Chains A and B, each alone.
Chain A
Amino acid sequence: MNDSISTLQQITLEQAIERSNKSEYHACIVGSGISGAILAKQLTQKGYRVLILEAAPAKDMTYTGFKEYVSNYYRNPSKDNNAPYPENPNAPMPRSTDVSKLTPGVDDTKGYMVQRGPLALDSTYTRVTGGTTMHWEAKILRMLPEDFAIKSTYGVGLDWPISYDDLMPYYRLAEREIGVSANVEEQGFYGIKYEENYVYPMYGLPPSYLDKIVGKGIDGAEFELYGETHTVTVRPFPQGRNGIPNERYDNGSGFKPVGAISSHQVEQGGRCQGNNNCVPICPVQAKYDARKTLLDALRTGLVDFLPQAVASKVVVNRDDHSVKHIEFKHYSSTERSEFTLAKVSADKYILATNAIENARLMLASGLPSSSGLMGKNLMDHTYLLAWGLLPEAAGTMRGTKCTSGVADFRYGRSRAKQAPFGIDIHNDGWGWATGSPFTDIETLVDEQNRFGKELRKSVVDRISNQLLFAYMVEQVADESNRVTVDPEYKDALGNMRPIINYNLSDYSKAGIAYSRETSKVFFQRLGAEDFSSYSPLDYGYFNYQGENYYFRGGNHFSGTHVMGTSADNSVVDEHQRSWDHPNLYLVGSGSMPSIGTSNTTLTLAALCFKTSEYILDEISKQSVKIVSNSDFRLAKEAGHE
């Protein structure tokens, strides 16, 4: 197929409304990130027609559009998560650079997310086609089986209505879709299991030289924790980026990696080259992003893609509370705030905008859910950073952001008392903690008066020895951490902005404090000089049992429309279907009752595959009307490409 421009069937507002009026849409999906893309792909490949409302412009589906992002990133003096993605007041997004220390009792309104505290959360997401997978790191872990039942096992947080076993076949589909590179024999630990003879689509990426040095130093370190011995092993992470395809995949059929979007012109995106700026953008598109899935959906010819359409209200019928239509604001330019207010209807409605935006839209529509839990239980992974200087050059800055880490504190009895954590070994030096290498250069020039060749050498010497551990600490559901809306705070289109209440519990803080202790042991074993310091002036600062710390957000927003066993204890059921509104699905990490110590994308993608199966079943029961026409044959052919 000749990709890119021609397959992206952008329709006009008028066409969308006309088709909606003729009841042509089986589903209306709000958002084109990974959740929306998976749902769109699964539905269209079975012959159903969907409308996607995307808040952002869609030029990033073309090669030139993508290159502009890469150029923006190179040009932008700030290299934060959203540096490549242009400001769009009509669909604004949070940026970590907007976050500063909060004054108690005063809302901080500088950024798009209004920070109500008591702690400031610097997590972000990206409102562009492809969503936050455009800037994600693509470390892609399964959750541990015990993570699904932390309430019943450890008495903390919330249980899932389903188990690891229920999700296992969908993990497999998600790993196929994303094209995960990993070796099963390195990943089956602490209860993680796979179907017999399962192999990942691609072989695991090689560990970095730094990983090996750290492994040599800390492997075998033992920690006694609530009567259990935790023995440290440095292990590679599964990666959502192209490596070596495994010829044994799919019973020997092998796996075909997906390269860059609009590849007929660029021949890119084959193998990961280790360009170290996976976050905020992989310059060669070897990293998976949701546009790859979206393009598969678009190829069926059954997707109507309407960009610059910001959903503003979910309107429900009075009698059965089913969704009647979705109102949205269609703008013609990111430069202006003029818009056309329109509405569309479909058989099913799927909100796939992410945990913050899904809850924000529902609350702005006056639909807090009968449980009252909409927007509550906001979770994120809490990061503690610890950084030191190794006694030898360790090749820092080589490889992708992060290739290995430690999983040995993710499980066990201690979870009743303190938050568990995973550990990332960062290949990009102290960047996250200190702004290295830019700050290193400032120090060398301003304080040590270096220049020319000597400066170049000093920069290399300094950075090559840098080591940063990022501790990813679990946060469990807590209703007081939440998203709300208030008519006082609106964006350029007049949509209410999300207000965030965020705090860390003593359970979280105890986990963070313990993680810091392990870092001291690691630095000691490695002979590294510990440079970590946590200033009370930092926006993430807190004091716990007399010690100073600061935390960083993990960009893993979740829990805001939590799934459960009844309309009393949750917002959605195990199929991510709203308890209150029978034709509405709220999909993504917002449905997760706990997040364990795994980055959320793989699990939310697996959930979306599960949900798509359910929706397909529902649609086929209800309607046979359009399935037999020529569109279906077209879709079938496309599906067999």
Chain B
Amino acid sequence: MLDAAVQLEHATIPPYLTALYSIKTETNPEASAIIRAVLVEEMLHITLAANVLNALGKHPDFEAQDFVPSYPTYLPDGESEFLVSIDKFSSTTLDTFLQIERPSKRGPQLDSELKGCVKRSNHHVFELKAVKPLKSSTYSFYSIGDFYEAIREGIEYLEDQANRKGETIFIGDPRFQVSNRYYYSGGGEVVEVFDKTTALNALELIIEQGEGHTHQIFNEQGELSHYYRFQQLKLGQYYQTGDSPGHPTGQKFEVDYKNVYPVKCNPKVADFPEDSELKQAALQFNENYQAFLTTINRAFRGGQEDLIGAVCGMFRLKECASQLIRNPLPSNPLMNGGPTFEMRYDSISVKAKSIKTWETA
């Protein structure tokens, strides 16, 4: 399930990244800062989930065939579900972001058979493993928060069982733990995971920063949860300490949805004409993104010093994405290109290269 957590956290990155890069330079500083802040924390969540996974002796697989979902993709929101797209920054996109980060609201009558889950008729639409409990063909998690609750309970249960036999489930190589030597940001620190306590701490941080399950605007560290960060954009005003949900009293600002490049929603390489510069750029972006995921994969499998080099990869991605986002489609000059995040899994060379380095690491 934790590998699914890594996949789930990553699934938010293409939409957030595209929205961020679609904002014209030097406009909407508040929106840029807030989307960027959430993105950085999603990367922290990936790191935390990977650390827990590594502590259990497993490794995340950023190169798995289905790791990057095909957009639009479904995410659960209580009884219903909603679509997440790769799209420009807009009022609609913002609503989706708010839905992604919505605090979990437990339904009164959750099916007792599978905790935190509801039976859905359209269970099959969910592409992300995280949404579906193992081996279930009809049940999906009620919310992302419920999914993490399930992981937490699973770890506690399994570790208690193991402890009774004088064993532990935390058998991973501690050298695989990504530390703040290679990852740190303005808010939230990497938790290195060695045992039950540290594992639960790591998961707690993900839940708290993301969905904010306590329904508090600020957590104990004085950080805003993602939902309320985004809500500030909706309301055009910053929260400050002491505010109640929905009623920020901080500095006011205006969000300017016009100063955004008109990125095509959920673009695909096939949308760009053969031999067009956009197509070249889209292929280039995807190739770079895949190479980037390969680097990250290596980093979380014992080669964490590669995270330093991955920074250059991120600048390269930004450059590629900007070329797509700032240029019009030849077929429709009122609409611009965008990164498609379509990965190719027929390329054996990429896979082989990564495995080789992993073995030597």
Contacts and interface: CB of A to CB of B under 8 A. Distances in A.
Interface of A: 1-2, 5-6, 62-64, 67, 71, 74, 244-245, 247, 254, 256-257, 259-260, 263-271, 273
Interface stretch (B10-18, B32-40, B59-67): B32-40
Nearest to B239: A2
29 contacts: A2-B218, A2-B241, A5-B238, A5-B250, A5-B251, A6-B240, A6-B241, A64-B29, A64-B251, A245-B181, A247-B179, A247-B181, A254-B180, A259-B185, A260-B186, A263-B187, A264-B222, A264-B223, A265-B224, A265-B229, A266-B37, A267-B37, A267-B40, A268-B186, A270-B184, A270-B185, A270-B186, A273-B311, A273-B315
A265 B238 contact: yes
Contact of A267 (B186, B241, B311): B186
A504 B182 CA distance: 47
B311 to A, nearest CB: 7
Contacts of B311: 271, 273
A266 B20 CA distance: 13
B41 A267 contact: yes
A254 B189 CA distance: 13
Contacts of A264: 187, 222-224
Given A259-B187, A268-B36, 7 more contacts: A64-B251, A71-B26, A267-B36, A267-B41, A269-B186, A270-B186, A273-B311
B253 interface: yes
Contacts of B251: 5, 62, 64
Interface of B: 26, 29-30, 33-34, 36-37, 40-41, 179-182, 184-187, 189, 218, 222-224, 229, 238, 240-241, 250-251, 253, 311, 315
A71 B25 CA distance: 9
Nearest to B27: A71
B36 A266 contact: yes
Given A5-B251, A6-B241, A266 B181 contact: no
A256 B184 CA distance: 9
B250 A266 contact: no
Candidate in B33, B182, B229 with the most chain A CB atoms within 10 angstroms: B33
A120 B30 CA distance: 43
Nearest to B232: A265
Contacts of B253: 64
B305 to A, nearest CB: 10
Contacts of B41: 267
Given A2-B241, A245-B180, A245-B181, A63 B186 contact: no
A64 B26 contact: no
Given A2-B218, A260-B186, A265 B181 contact: no
A362 to B, nearest CB: 39
Contacts of B29: 63-64, 67
Given A265-B34, A266-B33, A266-B37, A5 B185 contact: no
Given A267-B186, A270-B186, A2 B40 contact: no
Contacts of A254: 180
A267 B181 contact: no
In the A-B complex, list the 4 residue pairs whose CB atoms are closest, starting with the nearest: A259-B186, A263-B186, A267-B37, A267-B186
B33 A63 contact: yes
B185 A267 contact: yes
